[in-house]
Amino acid sequence: MKRIILFVLTNVLVVAVLGIVASLLGVNRYLTANGLNLGALLGFALIMGFGGAIISLLISKPMAKWTSGVRVINQPANADEAWIVNTVQKLAEKAGIGMPEVGIFEGDPNAFATGAFKNSALVAVSTGLLQGMTHEEIEAVIAHEVAHVANGDMVTMTLIQGVMNTFVVFLSRVIGYAVDSFLRKGDSESSGPGIGYMVTTLVLDIVLGFAAAMVVAWFSRHREFRADAGAAQLMGRRQPMINALARLGGMHPGELPKSVAAFGIAGGIGQLFSTHPPIEDRISALQNAQA
């Protein structure tokens, strides 16, 4: 439940901050004496929706380092770290992307990739993953994360989130205006948004925010199959990725912060809010593609 709440509220908070700033600057003047200006509202919703998503994308790498406690390997301290860096470099070259930063973080088995641009991403693996898998399985997991970067999944997720944010901001305010107009029907002396508008938009921002999170999570689940297939292609065969998923299915996957949860190798067990499909479905997809 904590992960679901973070998934929704982090994005809502970014949009809320932008809304406060817009109000202070007088940008959100879509409520006029003549009623609701839909064109102005749509422009406001686009700025709010994509602004929040883009800001989240741009700060994704430093936030991931901070929230996950990632230690970036600037200079390998031992043979294992050298192997990890060399593996990422080899796979990045195969994928045709720039060398990502490579990091390690303490925790149960997991890994993630993040960053605003393909050629300046971050790939990080947990100590639990390194201790619980063979080198071939770890390489498959890293290939999965590199495939996320090569597929441009961070940018795609930003666009999807931006569209969903825009939908939430626009629709909640249209409905809020309608409710407010109904409650204040016949009150010719009042002007500006009333309590009906404020309460309705606040409630709908939360309710529609959850609905939008479900859509984003659905897209994320479908994207995982593509990253699995990309890992198999980078490895030259599917069995290492199948083995890695099977191994991971017998482990207790670590929780990742919301900012990078969608880009990890394993997700939560939630249904509609889960960013990852079940391990069995991912293995089945690889096996069927192999046949």
Lowest mean pLDDT among 43-57, 156-170, 249-263, 266-280: 249-263
Q: β-strand 111-114 against 122-126: which pairing, if any?
A: antiparallel
Establish whether 224 is an annotated binding residue: yes
Please compute the mean of the pLDDT values over residues 115-129 and round it to a whole number.
Answer: 90
pLDDT tens across 61-72, in order? 888 888 888 999
The 8-class DSSP code of residue 74 comes to: S
Output the average pLDDT for the chain. 80
Q: Is 276 annotated as a binding residue?
A: no
Q: Determine the pLDDT at residue 43.
A: 81
- Nearest-10 crossing angle of helices 195-235, 239-249: 130
Q: Would the annotation count 222 as a binding residue?
A: no
Centroid of chain to Cα 84 = 25
The active-site residue out of 145, 189, 255, 280 is 145
Structure tokens given for 54: 């883009």
Please state the φ and ψ torsions of residue 197, each to the nearest 5 degrees. -65, -45
189 assigned to active site: no
